[in-house]
């Protein structure tokens, strides 16, 4: 099994996988990659900033079988429909019954 970090562009639905763990990348690293992509979209500065932060905070670490690893869009941003991704790797799909990020415990005082 291998690990990758998955980024998804909300503007064009492209996805990009980064080799390794989420913790290996600083936010600045991720911002830099996202920014490069967002330059291709004609966004003004505030919009670009909002998208950039959104993409980075949505970045998810995925576990993938080694045999599927080279099918990931590691090299460049790729249209989501044109690439292979493991089931349930993008939020909003089936299989995300217990969304860990949206269920914040409020009970702690």
Torsion from C-alpha of 43, 12, 95, 82, nearest 10 degrees: -150
Q: How many CA atoms does the CB half-sphere of 53 hold within 13 Å?
A: 5
Task: Give least dist CB 108 to Zn ion, A.
Answer: 38
Nearer to Zn ion (CB atom), residue 12 or residue 49: 12
Min. distance of Cβ 105 from Zn ion in angstroms? 34
- Comparing CB distances to Zn ion, the nearer of 21 and 41 is 41
How near is the Cβ of 81 to Zn ion at its closest, in Å?
14
Our CB check for Zn ion shows the closer of 27 and 41 to be 41
Place of tokens 């019954």: 97
């Amino acid at each position: 099994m291998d690990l990758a970090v998955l980024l998804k562009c909300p503007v064009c639905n492209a996805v990009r996988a980064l080799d390794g763990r989420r913790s290996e990348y600083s936010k600045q690293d991720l911002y830099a990659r996202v920014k490069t992509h967002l330059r291709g979209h004609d966004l003004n500065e505030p919009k670009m900033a909002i998208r950039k932060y959104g993409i980075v905070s949505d970045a998810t670490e995925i576990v993938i079988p080694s045999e599927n690893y080279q099918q990931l869009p590691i090299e460049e941003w790729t249209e989501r429909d044109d690439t292979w991704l493991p089931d349930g790797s993008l939020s909003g799909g089936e299989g995300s019954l217990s969304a860990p990020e949206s269920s914040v415990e409020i009970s702690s005082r």
